[in-house]
A and B are shown apart, each in its own frame.
Chain A
Amino acid sequence: GDSVTQMEGPVTLSEEAFLTINCTYTATGYPSLFWYVQYPGEGLQLLLKATKADDKGSNKGFEATYRKETTSFHLEKGSVQVSDSAVYFCALKINDYKLSFGAGTTVTVRA
């Protein structure tokens, strides 16, 4: 079935470093793709999404481009802050309420 595979963590960075978290998908068509983030002590929240090929989702300085050639949706941020420390989940839409999630990548940013 449709699924995503994301980079294993944990990832530890210094403030202002560049962050990339890889996510690739397997799907029969071109489903919507998402990045969710879970900050410490909070629920998962939608960070960004892309609904079709070549779309770019962006939010809070994060970006991800839906690339059908490489079946990827990598998350990037040019300069991370301590407040970006969280668990990041890549997800694929199966239907209106079913999402297929990756295992999550824990990111820790040190001052």
Chain B
Amino acid sequence: NAGVMQNPRHLVRRRGQEARLRCSPMKGHSHVYWYRQLPEEGLKFMVYLQKENIIDESGMPKERFSAEFPKEGPSILRIQQVVRGDSAAYFCASSAGAGMNTGELFFGEGSRLTVL
């Protein structure tokens, strides 16, 4: 049973470009969460999505960042006009039900974004 798959593992962008990070949840999971780890810091919650719905985006920066989880296909975290401060590791997690009440969150390996 494949785990949470994230790609790309490493992404390099120049300032002003767009970054798209993809996350395929574990089979049978319909709840996806994105976390960000800035250098020297812990992972911080960004957004919680179900299929076609954003449940909680309280951790998302107000501008340039967006996330979706379409009916078909992976969840996408999109960062427009990247800046150097966006350089971080972005982790995706999934669960079968809503949050940890129904089990644990399963995390992917993370996608490391470097902005030059």
Contact = CB atoms under 8 A, between A and B. Distances in A.
Interface of A: 4, 36, 38, 41-46, 89, 91, 93-104
Given A41-B109, A44-B93, A104-B42, 16 more contacts: A4-B42, A42-B109, A43-B6, A43-B106, A43-B107, A43-B109, A45-B107, A89-B43, A96-B98, A96-B100, A96-B101, A97-B33, A97-B48, A99-B45, A99-B105, A103-B40
B18 interface: no
8 contacts: A42-B109, A43-B107, A97-B31, A97-B45, A97-B98, A99-B43, A101-B35, A101-B44
Contacts, number: 64
Contacts of A38: 107, 109
A46 B42 contact: no
Contacts of B109: 38, 41-43
Most buried by A among B4, B101, B107: B107
B56 interface: yes
Q: Which 7 A/B pairs are nearest by Cβ-Cβ distance?
A: A96-B99, A101-B42, A44-B107, A97-B99, A101-B43, A43-B107, A98-B45
Given A41-B109, A42-B109, A43-B3, A97 B42 contact: no
